[in-house]
Amino acid sequence: MTKLLRFFTATAFAFSAAALAQTDGNAAALPSAPSSASSPVVAPAGGSKIATVNIEGAIFASNEGQRDFEALSKKLEPKEAELKGQKDEIDSLKKQLDTQGTKLNDDARGNLVKQIEDKQKRFERSAQDAREDAQNQQNEIAQRILQKMAPMMVKYVSDNGYGLLLDTSSPWPNGPVVWNNVDITKTIVDAYNAQSGVPAPARPAATKSGTTGSGAAAKPAAPATKPQTTTPPAK
């Protein structure tokens, strides 16, 4: 995944509490422990059992999430290459200043320093704009998937006698859950994949030596935060 997408912002998960609460007239989003990313606590009507779900991991692990985030990653590759070119140019000028600075007259040295400073400022502005654009597009994908996934989560916990659902996207101590053995993330991902009809992303076939045809090791794309996969007990 491109460097521009190697983060998942709090914006998407600040939305998640509201999205979950709105899926059921009897569900309520309750306060959670302070953290950099919101960890919603959802209480469906009835039931006494407690379940957890890694919302961030579920979004990334779903077939739709893998497909759309990979497409976004490829879309952003030209911008990443452009930024790398700008950074390489700045590094080259800095190296020139280090190696030739003492041999240049004051005017030439001053011009080179100013050129480096101007290019550095433009690069930093471009990089910030690129990060914000990537973040916005990533959040759009996450929120679109979550709007469809949230009702499934609330229905599942309601149908299976759970009275409380905790989001473990932010691990302890940033999140409220220290330990659990009833995580429904995989169950939700499997159900969402079946409902969405989106097939699992194709992966390059590995050779007997465990490499692709190009010789590179074939590795499946991993979500930014891996979901826990403990299957909850049957009702």
3-class secondary-structure state, position 16? helix
Task: Assess if residue 54 is contained within a domain.
Answer: yes
- Average pLDDT on 134-145 reads 94
Q: Provide the residue range defining the domain that includes 166.
A: 3-196
How many angstroms separate the CA atoms of 8 and 138, rounded? 8
Q: What does the pLDDT read at residue 34?
A: 34
Q: Is 15 within 8 Å of 143 (Cβ atoms)?
A: yes
d(CA 136, CA 4): 11
pLDDT in tens, 96-120: 999 987 888 989 999 999 999 999 9
H helices within the chain, ranges in order? Answer: 10-21, 55-61, 63-100, 106-159, 185-196
pLDDT score recorded for residue 27 = 41
pLDDT at 229 over 80: no
Please tell me whether the peptide bond between 173 and the residue prior to it is cis, using omega within 30 degrees of 0. Answer: yes
- 227 found inside a domain: no
In a domain, 202, yes or no: no
**pLDDT reported for residue 138:** 94
- 203 dihedral zone (left: phi>0; alpha: psi -120 to 50; beta): beta
- Assess if residue 114 is contained within a domain: yes
Task: Work out the percent of the chain whose per-residue pLDDT is above 90.
Answer: 53
Q: Do 70 and 5 contact (CB within 8 A), yes or no? A: no
Higher local confidence (pLDDT), 211 or 146:
146
Per the structure, the count of domains in the chain is 1
Residue 79 lies in a domain: yes
Q: What is the rounded average pLDDT for all residues in the chain?
A: 76
In a domain, 213, yes or no: no
Q: pLDDT digits over 14-38, tens only?
A: 444 444 544 444 443 333 333 334 4
Q: Are 1 and 73 in contact (CB under 8 A)?
A: yes
What is the per-residue pLDDT across 168-223, written as a single tens digit (0 to 9) for each? 998 888 888 888 889 999 999 999 999 999 999 887 665 554 444 433 333 334 34
Residue 211 resides in a domain: no
For residue 18, the model assigns a pLDDT of: 45
Q: Is residue 43 part of a domain?
A: yes
Tell if the pTM clears 0.75, that is, is over it: no
Least reliable range by pLDDT among 46-60, 142-156, 188-202: 46-60
Reduced to 3 states (helix: H, G, I; strand: E, B; else coil), residue 103 is helix
In this model, does residue 68 exceed pLDDT 80? yes
Residues 6 or more apart whose CB falls under 8 angstroms from that of 105 comprise none
